[in-house]
Chains A and B, each alone.
Chain A
């Protein structure tokens, strides 16, 4: 099997198709561990992983923690208050203090795009990105790839619609990087206030004028979470109008290919991004995404540690 050459995983933009294939293949192996009665292997025994979450995210943090524990690593969760930066302690200070405790991996969630590159310059351990600002969320991107590949057996030649607030979404950026590198064609839809400029240049990406156009004949429809606090500001009038034009419901889902996959990074604003009929319906793969999340994160931790499966 190919070798994984990266010490850090910060962005799918930095990974090649081969890197991602390797991570997905490993995740499939990890999934077997997750279906055992005793869901634990000694692969990362003696390794210390710090989950450094500057933004609250129970889902992602828990998923990383379970992933680490199933590989027998020791984990520590740290949630610095978001105000610690204003109290004078910089990210670099925090990082160096943590590094003195000799962790092997720091898994970080941070509100500032690119914060992980800053961290990686300061520390000698591996850095894994659990989401940075509006930049990337590579573990989410990879688990989306795995979930789609589970259903179709491939990732190339698919029409994938991503609908919602693309501009502020790190999930969208990682999905676009991952999917287009793997050969899918991504169609984006959302209010123009939520569409970043020149996004087509990211790869095989088409910006659609309407949601209809994006989901028409799609194999996969990925709905993004809308930040409730953006309502009533300058990006959209309110949630009601948003859901009317950019919400997924049983009617417009019929535009997609029969049996098309519906995905969402969660947590879902029910009735806004999608109706409960869709979220809980037969085409929804939302829980599958969560399940795959653990396997993908196990694969990421495993590869940045450069370990070998015995």
Chain B
């Protein structure tokens, strides 16, 4: 099936393109971008007037819960949520059951995604066996099996010597290490950000320095070993500052944040709302401002969701025992478009952070509309207003603090490999 996407505002940071044009897709690849392209016989036409046509969005931090925890989400429901949110590629974290610490699990995910999924899925393997923090996993084999990075996400690698060796070893193999930066001793029994809100609610706090110290340690290890490092879900002003300074020194560090960290503060926890419980926790206004500044000045390279589905029973409980995490695939794009509306990012910079940069950092051949590229595209309607209704989400889980929020902008059509993977009717 060939496609002609007419009259959209085509935005492709990979080639500095931002112009109203047509995009012709043939045999699953981008054939041509130009004015007044003509459709030949058998070409389906999509009218993108008033819409953005961008390289398919890439979410480099997702928990698909498959294998092992399919009651929360699985590869089918997760990728369906992804395309509904405008994502053509997902990078899934290894804290499945069993964990992605061997070729078999990685292959299972890749095969199931290829046969039943709605978008591309690139798995992340473990840094250590079973995420146990004791022995390095077989990173070479994981890479051969198709993993695009290694991470023990959900847990930090507590042992600094092991983290050092993992960075060195991964550099040799050519696989990226993604750090979940958290000092567990400082987290203690904390369940939300430590600050005035935790004081008033009487909830145990997680201090910012639990993240800052771990970020600093891993950045220093990356610098010492001259290895690339990516810091996941940055949430504090301290982490932003540490990463900014490291980048200025030439350390090969990149990072991501998530929409909730530039949208919400820990005030969202008031009322003991477990849908505002996540790790790292929602921080304070100063942190939100620092995250936005980090996005603006390029310190923060990517916007990922940290999509973390949980069953209702794991959230509809007392705050202390509730599971950490929120879903994010279907709210990420509108929350991020708000950054453009607020003048923090240009639309080009936003697309860079949601497609081009994650592709580049992970070394996957996505995030570009250059002729000959895989035709993964997202058509975005930037002006449509809608309300988040948890009943209509494609994800299996409903754990979002944005239920009932009024949003502006969303994916109108998601095209994967030249075929329409999601049309919004």
Listed in ascending order, the chain A residues whose CB lies under 8 Å from chain B are: 13, 85, 90-92, 110, 112-115, 117-118, 132-136, 167, 170, 173, 196-199, 201-202
B117 nearest CB across to chain A (Å) = 34
Listed in ascending order, the chain B residues whose CB lies under 8 Å from chain A are: 194-196, 198-205, 271-272, 313, 316-321
A173 touches which of B202, B272, B313, B316 (Cβ 8 Å): B202
Closest 8 CB pairs of A and B: A135-B202, A114-B272, A198-B196, A134-B202, A196-B199, A113-B202, A112-B318, A112-B320
Give the complex CA separation of A115 and B202 in angstroms: 11
A114 nearest CB across to chain B (Å) = 3
Given A133-B203, A198-B199, A92 and B319 touching (CB < 8 A)? no
By the criterion CB–CB under 8 Å, are B198 and A118 in contact? Answer: no
List 20 additional A-B contacts (Cβ < 8 Å) besides A117-B271, A197-B194, A197-B195: A13-B200, A90-B313, A112-B320, A113-B202, A113-B320, A114-B202, A114-B203, A115-B319, A118-B317, A118-B319, A134-B202, A134-B203, A134-B204, A135-B203, A173-B200, A196-B198, A196-B205, A197-B196, A197-B198, A199-B199
Given A197-B194, A197-B196, A198-B196, A90 and B317 touching (CB < 8 A)? yes
By the criterion CB–CB under 8 Å, are B318 and A91 in contact? Answer: yes
B271 nearest CB across to chain A (Å) = 7
By the criterion CB–CB under 8 Å, are A118 and B318 in contact? Answer: yes
Give the complex CA separation of A85 and B322 in angstroms: 12
A and B contact pairs by CB, cutoff 8 A, 9 listed: A90-B313, A113-B201, A114-B203, A114-B319, A118-B272, A133-B202, A197-B196, A201-B196, A201-B199
By the criterion CB–CB under 8 Å, are B205 and A197 in contact? Answer: yes
CB neighbours of B196 from chain A (8 A): 197-198, 201
Give the complex CA separation of A116 and B316 in angstroms: 13
Max chain A CB contacts within 10 Å: which of B205, B318, B319? B318
B318 touches which of A114, A173, A202 (Cβ 8 Å): A114
CB neighbours of A198 from chain B (8 A): 195-196, 199
Give the complex CA separation of A90 and B196 in angstroms: 29
Give the complex CA separation of A132 and B318 in angstroms: 11
Max chain A CB contacts within 10 Å: which of B195, B196, B200? B200
CB neighbours of A85 from chain B (8 A): 321
By the criterion CB–CB under 8 Å, are B319 and A113 in contact? Answer: yes
B285 nearest CB across to chain A (Å) = 13
CB neighbours of B205 from chain A (8 A): 196-197
Give the complex CA separation of A91 and B319 in angstroms: 12
Max chain B CB contacts within 10 Å: which of A110, A112, A132, A201? A112
Output the nearest chain B residue to A117 by Cβ-Cβ distance.
Answer: B272
Max chain A CB contacts within 10 Å: which of B195, B272, B313? B272
Given A117-B272, A118-B272, A110 and B200 touching (CB < 8 A)? no
CB neighbours of B195 from chain A (8 A): 197-198
CB neighbours of B317 from chain A (8 A): 90-92, 118
Give the complex CA separation of A184 and B204 in angstroms: 27
A115 nearest CB across to chain B (Å) = 5
CB neighbours of B202 from chain A (8 A): 113-114, 132-136, 170, 173
Give the complex CA separation of A13 and B271 in angstroms: 12
Given A92-B317, A197-B205, A113 and B200 touching (CB < 8 A)? no
CB neighbours of B201 from chain A (8 A): 113-114, 135
CB neighbours of A13 from chain B (8 A): 200
A246 nearest CB across to chain B (Å) = 20
CB neighbours of B313 from chain A (8 A): 90
CB neighbours of A114 from chain B (8 A): 201-203, 272, 318-319
CB neighbours of B203 from chain A (8 A): 113-114, 133-135
Give the complex CA separation of A28 and B72 in angstroms: 54
Give the complex CA separation of A186 and B319 in angstroms: 29
Give the complex CA separation of A90 and B311 in angstroms: 15
A130 nearest CB across to chain B (Å) = 15
CB neighbours of A118 from chain B (8 A): 272, 317-319
Give the complex CA separation of A169 and B198 in angstroms: 13
Output the nearest chain A residue to B313 by Cβ-Cβ distance.
Answer: A90
Give the complex CA separation of A173 and B198 in angstroms: 12
CB neighbours of B200 from chain A (8 A): 13, 173, 201-202
Output the nearest chain A residue to B193 by Cβ-Cβ distance.
Answer: A197
A135 nearest CB across to chain B (Å) = 3
A199 nearest CB across to chain B (Å) = 5
